[in-house]
Amino acid sequence: MTLFIQATKGTSPRQIKKESMKFLLVILVACCLCCTSLFSQQNNITNITMEPIYPDSDDTIYVYIDLAFPTTSCVLDNSSLQLSGNDITASSQYCLGIAMSICNTTDTIVIMPLPAAVNYYFNYILSVGSLPLPCTPGVVPNDSLSFDFGVESSVGIDEKSIFSYGLSPNPSRGTFEVYLPSFIENDFSYLIRNNQGEHVQSGIIESNVQKFDLNLKSGMYYVILSSKSSGYHVTKKIAVY
């Protein structure tokens, strides 16, 4: 961009330089205001769903939050989940590009099985910054939502005993065996998540006794075993040392 500053008779070079700097400052402020407007837009949350809708104390809960941003790029920078009593707070930070367009994405929040309670309070906080990663968010969150839900007690002992499995040794150095008392081919699958709810490993259970040799860091993990025919899920906590 070329700047043209009209000089009048008697204008000194120092005055011309001063006017040029003032003009550049105006342009810079305008650009900053534009970016601020872009990243301070509200209503980025377009939809929210929870599965299962009526969880019990054996269920892993998935909250899917649909997001829309007015830029060509929207990259997740970091996220966290905190539980304090019956309060659940999830926060995510996205880094956005500059080019104007629409970027749609879905933020998935994983909540491990909760004790039965009439009310849990879920809060979601969304912050954004500008690319590249990592980015610095604004002082005020871009959007937020909250809702409450209940968790029922798990099903009766008779039904639960039909779908159960053993996991040993626990804790271990990462090698476990899963024992299924009633095995149905192509019916059982497993999912392993870490203590932050992140996906670690998944697959199909191929026999009533299956060995897992997990190359995992020390810590707590959750093994979620699912039955396709019954739709039932059982979660067990494992420790790797």
Residue 5 lies in a domain: no
What are the pLDDT tens digits along the chain (241 aa)? 444 445 455 555 565 555 555 555 444 444 443 444 444 456 799 999 898 888 888 888 999 999 999 988 999 999 999 999 999 999 999 999 988 889 999 999 999 999 999 899 999 999 999 999 999 988 788 899 999 999 988 754 444 444 567 888 888 888 888 888 776 777 888 888 887 777 888 888 888 888 888 888 888 888 888 888 777 777 888 888 8
Question: How far from 94 is each of 42, 99, 103, 107, 125, CA to CA, in Å?
Answer: 14, 15, 11, 10, 11
Domain boundary among 110, 125, 151: 151
Q: Are residues 97 and 162 in the same domain?
A: no
CATH of the domain at 236: 2.60.40.1220
Q: Are residues 34 and 81 in the same domain?
A: no
Peptide bond into 181 cis (omega under 30): no
Q: Are residues 28 and 70 in the same domain?
A: no
Residue 119 lies in a domain: yes
Q: Are residues 207 and 222 in the same domain?
A: yes
Give the range of the structural domain holding residue 33, as residue numbers without chain letter: 12-40
Q: Are residues 34 and 73 in the same domain?
A: no
Q: Are residues 91 and 141 in the same domain?
A: yes
Looking at residue 64, what is its pLDDT? 92
What is the DSSP pairing of strand 233-240 with strand 219-227? antiparallel
Residue 7 lies in a domain: no
DSSP 8-state class, residue 134: S
Domain boundary among 151, 177, 201: 151
Looking at residue 32, what is its pLDDT? 42
Residue 6 lies in a domain: no
Would you state the structure tokens that stand for residue 179, as one six-digit string? 């024992």
Domain boundary among 122, 151, 180: 151
Q: Are residues 53 and 145 in the same domain?
A: yes
Would you state the structure tokens that stand for residue 68, as one six-digit string? 């829309």
Residue 36 lies in a domain: yes
Q: Are residues 168 and 210 in the same domain?
A: yes
- Number of domains into which the chain is organized: 3
Phi and psi angles of residue 86, each rounded to the nearest 5 degrees, phi first:
-100, 5
CATH of the domain at 59: 2.60.40
Q: Are residues 63 and 113 in the same domain?
A: yes
Tell me if 64 sits within 8 A of 104, measured CB to CB.
no
Residue with tokens 């209940």: 150
N- to C-terminal Cα separation, the chain: 61
Looking at residue 69, what is its pLDDT? 93
Looking at residue 187, what is its pLDDT? 80
